[in-house]
Amino acid sequence: MGAQMKRLAALIIGGRLQGIELAYLAHEAGWATTLVDRHPRVPASGLVDRFICADAQDAAVLLPLVAAADLVLPAVEDRGVLEQLVSYGLQTGTDVVCDLDAYRLSASKLRSNALFSALGLPLPEPWPGCGLPVIIKPDALSGSQGVRVARTRDELRVALESVEGTPVIQQYLEGRSWSMELVGNGECFDRLPITEVVCGADFDCECIVAPAGLSLDERAQFIRIADTLGDALHIDGIFDIEVISSEGQLKLLEIDARFPSQTPISVYHATGINMLELLYRRHTKDGLYVEQDRAQCCLYQQIEVEAGVLHFVGEHVLADSEPLRCRKGFFGAEVALTDWQPGSSHWYAILVITAANQAEAEQRSLECVSAIRDSQTAGTASAVSRKRGEPDDTPR
């Protein structure tokens, strides 16, 4: 029998939302994982082989770790930290998956909107030409952070007084939102499957549906937007694109040049495509061919259970959970990433629900949530889980 193949060594920097995705997908790929975060109990620390509590800018700790890794995977959005990690990679010869030029562009909504306009891409109309209502976003924060809606001039004044940094003010549009990732090597890129982003009233994403159910025309519009951005940015790494449909016309909301949260695990369970493995293929120059080995629907949802009451929550709530563990068959979910323990009164979970189509996935989600609620009513999660299919309690 030949010698056992060495496991790829991945060094993940940052253990919150993006770190959860990276840790889970790296495990699914069979990689050896080390996580570094300056906080001692971050969610992703329960999903890796080794956790080191340290500051990423501490060269004495980080340089040996970077040198020993095959790949460094930043899961942070701090420009100083990213620049330091790239410097470590240059010193050690280790590849750091970070396109700093693309990151600097996407980190500013004003700069990225200027590029979108120059490329002729469709955007929500800017204030004051659009009239009310409007949406106000901080220039330098990503996702839903600091986002507000103003329906009157008084609300707009109050929002502008409290916004962090320079505001971006645009027409407020209501409609379905979709996301797509592009993975590239600086010369060519692959488009990943489109997902639907379902947000709560606070604009924080509560559910991902993969793949998204959009019309052929909307899909064609999204592909044109994605190809235009891919050709313009020559991305060396990964970025995601978010759009909203307004009366059948897609408008570009933002791009983020960093490993995303939520959508990678959703796409993986819907199609079998592991975005992290694609990034490594980019690293090794081994092509960017996308292999899809399954075709089903995946729902990715976050819940919080407190004092027996279950709530669906946005993803940012999970950033402050206890270390998560991967549990299969959790109350009927295919997989849950959760800090639940038997007898827990307050816990969080990411539920990954799969089925042949979206209707069946939604029914399975209802059954899973009903089982969890029944367990809380009964007062003991472990007893009910045995009746309905006991979760795998073996931590990874």
**What is the dotted CATH code of the domain comprising 125-171?**
3.30.1490.20
Statement: residue 101 has pLDDT above 70? yes
The confidence band for 290, taking pLDDT boundaries of 50, 70 and 90, is: low
**pLDDT digit string (tens) for 195-234?**
999 998 888 899 999 999 999 999 999 999 999 999 999 9
Could you say which DSSP state residue 151 is in?
Answer: S
CA–CA gap between residue 265 and residue 267 (Å, rounded): 6
Domain residue spans of the chain: 9-98, 104-109+174-284, 125-171, 297-388
For residue 142, what pLDDT is reported? 62
Model pTM score: 0.90
Alpha-carbon span 99 to 350, nearest angstrom: 29
Residue range 89-100, pLDDT digits in tens: 999 999 999 999
Return all residues near 354 (Cβ < 8 A) that are at least 6 apart.
Answer: 269, 270, 296, 297, 298, 299, 334, 361, 364
Instruction: Tell me the pLDDT of the chain averaged across its residues.
Output: 89
Are the beta carbons of 250 and 218 closer than 8 angstroms? yes
Provide the sign of the torsion angle of the four alpha carbons 47, 49, 51, 56, taken in this order: negative
Contact 319, 328 (CB under 8 A): no
Architecture category of domain 104-109+174-284 in CATH: 2-Layer Sandwich (3.30)
Between 241 and 376, whose confidence is greater?
A: 241
Which CATH number is 9-98's, of 3.40.50.720, 3.40.50.740, 3.30.2130.10, 3.30.420.40? 3.40.50.720
Q: Which candidate, 92, 71, 60, 94, places its Cα nearest to that of 13?
A: 71
Tell me which range, 130-134, 136-140, 298-302, 308-312, is most confidently predicted by mean pLDDT: 298-302
At residue 182, what are phi and psi to the nearest 5 degrees? -120, 135
Nearest partner of 338 among 379, 388, 391, judged by Cα? 391
Task: Name which residue leads in pLDDT, 141 or 104.
Answer: 104
